[in-house]
Structures are given as structure tokens and as C-alpha cells.
Structure 1
Amino acid sequence: MQRVTLTLDDDLVRDVDALMHARGYQNRSEAIRDLTRSGLNRLKTEAAPEATYMGALVYVYDHGARELSKRLTRHSHDHHDLTLSTLHVHINADSCLEVALLKGSGQALQQFSDEVTSSRSVRHGQLVLIPET
């Protein structure tokens, strides 16, 4: 491990300290290491969209919305080669949460995610990509 000296403005240090306390990091170095890893991972994903990634697509939708369940199932079947597993949870009388574990090119996973999360009555959605390494 190498020691690196950084100069940060006061506002940025306050933001790092707030993150450190909110997430329970033991020190600034741990917080900055995680932020650096996250930023580098995002840049790698943008630079190499054809590379293979593991992904988790999490979304919440209104299960009572007309034909939505059928459309979401159709999206999954159209991209069956990307899907490793799915989890379906009934949150309440109106909402369901699904988690799709995916594997494929970053570009294909992002396209699938965009199709699902932009569907009408999908309330929340987020894709997390992790390089296959």
C-alpha cells in the first residue's frame, strides 16, 4: 500500500467526513478508497461497454397496471440470455419489487435496464454493474 497526500477544499472535506460518519468508515482513507473504486468502476464501464459484467437490476412496479406484468415478462424472455436469476417480492397490495441478476456486456445490460425501468408504472429502478474480472 502506498501513502498519497491529497489537497481538498474545505467543502469537499466536509462532504467526505459526512459520508465517513454516515456509512461508518473508520477514517477518511477508507471512504476515499471506496469512492475512488466506485468512480474508476464507472469510468471502466463507460470506456468498455462491450466488456462482460455482472449486474443487478432492482425495480419496483405497480402490479395492477394494465398489461405491465406481461410486458415485463416479455422483456425478460426477450433477453433470457442475460438473466441468471430473478427474485419477486410482494411489497404491499399495490407494489412488487423484482431483482434480476444479470450477466452480459455492459451495453446489453444497460439496454435491458433502460427498457424495463422506462416502462410505464415502473416506479423505481436501478442497475448496478460489476466487472466480471
Structure 2
Amino acid sequence: MSDLVRFGVAMDRALLAAFDDRITARGYENRSEALRDLVRADLTKAAWQSGAAVAGTVTFVFAKKSRAEVSRVLDAAPAGLTVSMVEVSLDDTRALGVLVLRGNAGELSGLAGRLSGARGVFAAELAIGCVDDRSAELSPSEGS
């Protein structure tokens, strides 16, 4: 049996039209899916800001000649923070790195910041998801 709850939302007509345009462009089948994603994103952000346990990725582009500097930053990270790393060659001089991380939000954010500031790193982006005890509340609904 589904645990879905229906509720109504009142919204300004122009705001709703803009929302509909946005969710259509993003490929949502209905407003409910889009609204659930917005709520999950907000709850994840709140958990992140409170220092909850999170998992995430840092995607970064770096100069291959700076691999030692990237390694130095990663070696200084707290033990157990990095779950996995993938490195893909983009061309003769640049590579794409993807780190899979698990820890508290501050640790992930700190590592992403240090990596972003490392010599030879052109760009770094952190994406996170909450994995604390509330993760069941954030999981996608079945049969939506």
C-alpha cells in the first residue's frame, strides 16, 4: 500500500505558469514529481548545513602536470572520506576527476574547496545527498 498523501497548493497564476514551463523543459511528467524533488533538495540542503552524514561527488577538471598537487590534497583528506575516484583523460593536457565521498557535510565541502583552490585545478563542483537517518524520508516514492 502506498504512503502517498495528497494536498493542495495555492499559487499565483503567473508563478504557476513559469513553474509549468520549467518542469516541462526539464522533462517532468507532472507537478507532483517536480514538487517532490524541490522538497527533497531543500531537506538535503538543510541536512547538509546541519552537518549531517552525506554522500556526494566532486567533479573536477585539472592539468595532468598537476596530478601530484591533486594527490597531495586528496592524501590530506580525513581517513575514509574518499570512497572511490575515477580519472578520465580529456586531451593531452587535461583530465576529468570524479571523487565519490562519504562523511559529514563540512568534510566534503572542505575537501571540495581545497581541491578547487589547488594549483592546476580548473574547476571543481560538489554535489551532495543526505544519508543520515532521514534518508528514508528523502527516497523517491514508488509508483509515482
Equivalent residue in structure 2 for 1:20, among 14, 20, 23: 23
Separation in 2, partners of 1:12, 1:93: 47
- Is the 8 Å Cα contact of residues 73 and 118 (structure 2) preserved in structure 1? no
- Is the 8 Å Cα contact of residues 20 and 31 (structure 1) preserved in structure 2? yes
Partner of 1:130: 129
Per-residue CA distance 1:76-126 (angstroms, 9 max, x = gap): 111161111100001122321100111111111110110001224322221
Amino acid in structure 1 at the alignment position of 2:127: V
Equivalent residue in structure 2 for 1:78, among 56, 76, 79: 76
- Is the 8 Å Cα contact of residues 16 and 32 (structure 1) preserved in structure 2? no
Question: Which residues in structure 2 correspond to 1:109-120 (within 5 Å)?
Answer: 109-120=108-119
**Are 2:59 and 1:61 aligned?**
no
Aligned positions, number? 128
- Is the 8 Å Cα contact of residues 61 and 96 (structure 2) preserved in structure 1? yes
Runs of 4+ in structure 1 over 4 Å off: none
Between stretches 113-122 and 35-44, larger displacement belongs to: 113-122
What TM-score results when the alignment is normalised by the length of structure 2? 0.79
Amino acid in structure 2 at the alignment position of 1:69: R
Separation in 2, partners of 1:121, 1:112: 16
Partner of 2:107: 108
Structure 2 gaps, min length 5: 133-144
Structure 1 gaps, min length 5: none
Separation in 2, partners of 1:22, 1:120: 38
Separation in 1, partners of 2:14, 2:62: 38
Separation in 2, partners of 1:5, 1:122: 47
Question: Which residues in structure 2 correspond to 1:19-58 (within 5 Å)?
Answer: 19-46=22-49, 48-49=50-51, 51-58=52-59
RMSD over equivalenced CA pairs, Å: 1.7
What TM-score results when the alignment is normalised by the length of structure 1? 0.85
- Is the 8 Å Cα contact of residues 16 and 31 (structure 1) preserved in structure 2? no
Separation in 2, partners of 1:63, 1:15: 43
% of aligned pairs identical? 27
- For residue 5 of structure 1, report the CA deviation from its aligned partner: 1.5
Per-residue CA distance 1:17-59 (angstroms, 9 max, x = gap): 233212211111111111111111111211x21x221121111
